[in-house]
A and B are shown apart, each in its own frame.
Chain A
Amino acid sequence: MSNEAVLQAESVLATHHDAHGEHHDHHHQETFISKYVFSMDHKMIAKQFLITGMVWAVIGGLMSVLFRLQLGYPDTSFPWLEDLLGKFWVEKGHITAQGYYALVTTHGTVLVFFVLTAGLSGTFANFLIPLQVGARDMASPFMNMLSYWFFFAASVVMVSSIFVETGPFSGGWTAYPPLSALGDASPGSKTGMDLWLVAMALFVVSSLLGGLNYIATVLNMRTKGMSMTRLPLTIWALFFTAVLGVLSFPVLLSGFILLIFDRNFGTSFYLSDIFLTTTNTALPNEGGSAILFQHLFWFLGHPEVYIILLPAMGMVSEILSVNSRKPIFGYMAMIGSLFAIAILAFLVWAHHMFVTGLNPFLGSIFVLLTLLIAVPSAIKVFNWLTTLWRGNIRFTPAMMFAIGFVSLFISGGLTGIWLGNSALDIHLHDTYFVIAHFHIVMGVASMFGMFAGVYHWYPKMYGRYLNTSLGYIHFWISIVGAYLIFWPMHYEGLAGMPRRYYDYSIWESFKNFGELNRFISTVAMIVFAAQLLFIANFFYSIWKGRKVTTLNPYGSNTLEWTTPINPGHGNWVGEIPEVHRWPYDYGKDGKEYTSQTTPVGADESHH
C-alpha cells in the first residue's frame, strides 16, 4: 500500500475512498470557495501561484520600465506621469531620486522573490511534482494551501508598502544595514522597510511550508515502480530547489530577526556609533558589524540564485528531450551536476563580498569554489546541446524558449567566470557588468524557463492550448530584446559605470553612454509590451483557446499525460499507474515514444 492510502485512511474524509479513486467529482461537495480560493488541490494552488506571480511580474516589470525611463531620458519631462503616479514618484515630470531608488529596490525584491521564486518553483513544483511522481496530491495539502496564503499575505503587505507616505524600502533588494536599519537614514527606511521585513518574513514562511512539502512528496509519495532514478529531471531539479530553500531561507530569517531588533529595540548587531547627518547626532550603538548581515544575507542569497535557476534547468531538460524526440543525453550526469550545483551553492556566498575587506586568502578559496561551478554548468550545457544534436526537433513555442534558455545560460554563465575572480571583481563590482551578468543568466534565463514551462504544460493546466503564433512573436521579441538590453550593459560595466545611480548624464565619465542608455530603455519598453501580449494570450486561451483533444498531445513519456485531459482532485481516475521505466525512452526500438507505464518487454534490458 502506498503512503497515499495511509494519508487518506487517516483523514476525516476517509469515507470518500479517494484512494480507490472512482468518480472524484461526485464525492466532493465543491463550492466556489473550496475550489478556486481555499483550494487544497495542488493543481489549483499551482495556478494561484502562477497568476499571482504574473501580477507581480507585471508590477515589477512596469517598475523597470519606469526607472529605465529615467535612465534613458533623464532630460525629458513626462508631466502625465506625475498625474498618474503622484508627487512622491514623479515631480515636475521627472522620476524623483527617492522614487527611483524605491523602484529599483522593489523591482529587485519582487522579481527575485515574488516572481522567480514563488511564481516559478511555487507554480511548477506544485503542479508537476504530484503529477510526475504519480501522487494524488502533496504530502500535506493543507500546508500547501497555507504556503500559498502566506505568499498572498506577503504580497498584500509588499503592495501596501508601495502606497505609504514615505514610500517603499529604497536601499536595494539586498537590504544592507546600516541604511536598512536606520529610519533616519532615508525615507524608504521608515515604514516602507518595516513592511518590507514583514512581507519577507511571511514570504520565508511560505517558502518553507512549500519546500517541506515538495521534499516530502518527492521522497515519500512516489507511485509503485517510480524509483528515484526513474524520475523526470524536472522533479530532480525541483527537489534540489526545495532542499536549497529549506536550508537557506531560515538563515535569511535569522539575519532579518537581528535586523528587526536593531531597527526597533536598540540592539547593536549591525549598528555601531555612526554619525548621521540627517539628525546631526551619533548613534548610541556600539560595536555592531554591518558585514555580519552580508554573511547571513548571502548565505541565503547565493543559494537563492540556484533556487531561481534550477527549476528552469529541470523543465528545459524535459522539454528539450520531448521535443527533440530523443532521450536526454547523460541523465545521471544531469542529476550529478544538479547535486554538485546544490552543494556548491552553499560554499560560494563570500564571492558577493570580495570588496568588503574580506581576507584575500579567504577570498582565493571562494574564487576556487565559485569557478568550480563552471564544471557542472558546462556538463549541463553539453548535455542539452547533445540532446538537441541530430534530434527530430519540433519547434513549439515551449521548445523555442527552452533553446533560448540554453543560449542565455551560456552567454550569461561565461561572464560569471569573469566575476568569480576576486581580482577582476575589484573593477567590476557594483557596475553594469554585474547587472548584465545576473539579469541574463538568472533573470531572463529563468523567465525563459518559466515561459517554456507555461507553454509546455498549459494544455495540462487548462485543457486548452496557448496561441502558437503569438507564442512565436513573444519568443522572438523577448530573445532579441533581452540581448539588446543586456549586451550593451557589459560594455558600460567594463567602462566602470556603477549600478544604482540616478542620473549618469551629470557624470563626465559616463555621459557618452547617454545614447546607449536611451537605446536600452527603448528596447526594454518594447520587450515589456511583448510580455503583455503573452498575458493576453494566457487569459484569452483559458476560455477561448484551442481545445486539447488527445490525452498525450506531445507524445510524452511522463505520468502527467496519463491523467484525464481535465484531471480532478486526485489526478487519476482509478488506480495510480505503475511505472516500469525511465521517462526518456524516445525513439527506442523504432518506437517514437514509450510511456513510463509501459512494462519492459522481454527483449529489452532494464532501466
Chain B
Amino acid sequence: MSSATLNETGKRIHPYKFLLWVAMGSICMMFAGLTSAYIVKRNQSNFLEFSLPLVFWYSTIVILASSLTIQLAVKSYKAREMSRYRTLMTITVILGVGFAALQTLGFMNLESHGIHLTGPKSNASASFILIIVGLHALHVLGGVVSLLVMFLKAYFSNTKNYSSVTIEVVSIYWHFVDVLWLYLLVFFIWIR
C-alpha cells in the first residue's frame, strides 16, 4: 500500500509522517528556548569565551555520513535489496552511536582543558554546551533506539511488511537531527 492516499483534496501526507513533522516543530522549540537562553546569558557579565573542541568537527562528518547511509538504506529497502539495506542500516546505527561517543569525547576534551561543564567552578557558557549538545546527542540516540526497535520488530514479526512508512519516518527524523546539529554548530561558532 502506498504511503500517501488520495482524496478529494489531492495527495495527503501519511498521519505518522505528519505526527513526526509536528514533533520536530516541538523539538525545534525546545532548542530555540535553549539557544535564546544562551543569547540572553551571553549578553550578561561573566560569560566565558573559549573555542569549540576539534572533535565536534569530526562528529559533524560522522553525522553527515550517517544521513547519507540512511538515505541509501531507504532506497535499497524500496528496491527490496534486503542485504544491502541491512548493511547500510547497521552502518547507520554504528555512526549514530559513534556520533554520541564523539560528542562525549568533546565534553571530556573541554574538561581536560580546565573548562568545567558542571560543578561550582563551571561557567554557564560551558554548561550550555553540555546541555544543548548533550540533549541533541540524546535525540540522536533516540533515533538509534527507534532503528533498533524497527529492526527487532521486523525480526520477530511473523508477517512480512512491505510498507516503507516506518523506515521513511525514521529517516526523516534522522535527517532532522542532522540539520539540527548543523544549526547548533553554526550557532555556537557565530555566537560566542
Contacts and interface: CB of A to CB of B under 8 A. Distances in A.
A315 B153 CA distance: 41
Contacts of A224: 7-8
B46 A287 contact: yes
Interface string B123-166: 11001100100010000000000000000000001010101010
Given A10-B1, A10-B165, A267 B118 contact: yes
A285 interface: yes
Contacts of B159: 12
B125 to A, nearest CB: 9
Contact of A261 (B6, B18, B36, B131): B131
Given A216-B18, A216-B19, A258-B131, A266 B119 contact: yes
Nearest to A245: B26
A379 B12 CA distance: 34
B44 A257 contact: no
A213 interface: yes
Interface residue range, chain A: 35 or more
B142 to A, nearest CB: 13
Contacts of A220: 12-13, 15, 18
A250 interface: yes
Contacts of A288: 124
Given A6-B5, A220-B12, A139 B18 contact: yes
Interface in B93-138: 118-124, 127-128, 131, 135
Contact of A287 (B14, B25, B45, B131): B45
Contact of B15 (A221, A246, A265, A266): A221
A140 B26 contact: no
A284 interface: yes
A6 B14 contact: yes
Contacts of A139: 15-16, 18-19
Contacts of A265: 118-119
Interface residues of B, number: 48
Contact of A212 (B7, B22, B33, B165): B22
B124 A267 contact: yes
Interface string A196-232: 0000000000001001110111011100100000000
Contact of B37 (A10, A246, A296): A296
A371 interface: no
A213 B12 CA distance: 17
A246 B26 contact: yes
A269 B33 contact: no
Nearest to A15: B159
A219 B123 CA distance: 45
Nearest to B132: A254
A2 B5 contact: yes
A267 B122 contact: yes
Interface string B1-33: 101011110001111101100110111011111
A335 interface: no
B86 interface: no
B7 to A, nearest CB: 7
A267 B22 contact: no
A328 to B, nearest CB: 25
B84 to A, nearest CB: 24
